[in-house]
Amino acid sequence: MHIGLIGGTGPAATVFYYRALVRLYANANRRLDLTIANADAKEVVNNLDSGNQMAQAAVFAKYIDQLKAAGCEAVALTSMGAHFCMGALEPMSSLPLMSALPALEAHFSAINVKKVGVLGTRAVMESRLYGLAGVEVVTVPHDELGTAHAHYVAMAIAGKATHEQRAYFENAALRLADERAAEAIVLGGTDLFIAFDKPSYPYPVVDCALVHAEAIAQVGMC
């Protein structure tokens, strides 16, 4: 299957998806057929902040048309934050969408995790990871959502984490594990791997981007 990705919404996340898919296909001794469309990260952030699902869906729909013209047969967004417009995008899309949410639900079911702590954009945290089924989702206190969102967006656009950003997210994760009894910390922003790059942490870490990439590869190799 010729896979289409809409990247650019976080440069580092786009590279992460690309490298993960290359590795997964190489390990399976399969040829990867992939085309990436580059979206405007600031445009996505503006529509995300204003909750303008229809506007962003229309933008993504045009990229999907381009990917279809390039021969793609299915498409995925390389951003959990960008999933905020998935409901509006589905009826507009000229290609099947490979959402991260079913993959995450299946993953948590497989590892028998019932309560997770989620970090990411405001939309991801407020929606409890878009109403993810099968698990209880906890996140930072309501009055801290703006701080977490600002740190995440700045990091995603820059493609790198400052010491302050790294320390904030590590501390927030520790509080979710210790104070909210989260069984695992979910990197609900596909760029959060930039901040969580240590070999190990005192809590399990689940990277949404990796789970999503593995699901994309599984579909693509069918």
Name the burial class of residue 136, with classes exposed (0-12), middle (13-18) and buried (19+) by CB atoms within 10 angstroms of its CB: middle
Mean of pLDDT values over 149-163? 94
| Amino acid at residue number 75 | V
Sign of CA dihedral 143, 179, 150, 64: negative
For residue 39, count other CB atoms closer than 10 A to its CB: 23
Indicate whether 195 pLDDT > 90: yes
Locate all alpha helices (DSSP H) within 37-134, ordered by sequence: 41-50, 53-69, 86-89, 100-111, 122-126, 128-131
Query: Residue range 186-195: average pLDDT?
Result: 94
pLDDT tens sequence across 37-95: 999 999 999 999 999 999 999 999 999 999 999 999 999 999 999 999 999 999 999 99
Burial of 159 (0-12, 13-18, 19+ CB in 10 A): middle
Q: pTM for this structure?
A: 0.92
Candidates 142, 146, 118; CA nearest to 130 is: 118
Mean pLDDT for 160-172 is 96
The single-letter DSSP state of residue 97 is: B
Mean pLDDT across the chain, nearest whole number? Answer: 96
- Give the whole-number percent of the chain exceeding pLDDT 90: 97
Residue 108 near residue 183, CB atoms below 8 Å: no
**Would the pLDDT of 10 be above 90?**
no
Whether pLDDT at 222 is above 90 = no
In 3D space, the residue among 207, 199, 222 whose CA is nearest the CA of residue 20 turns out to be 207
Percent above pLDDT 70 for the chain: 100
CB 162: neighbour CB atoms within 10 A? 13
The per-residue pLDDT for range 118-154, each reduced to its tens digit, is 999 999 999 999 999 999 999 999 999 999 999 999 9
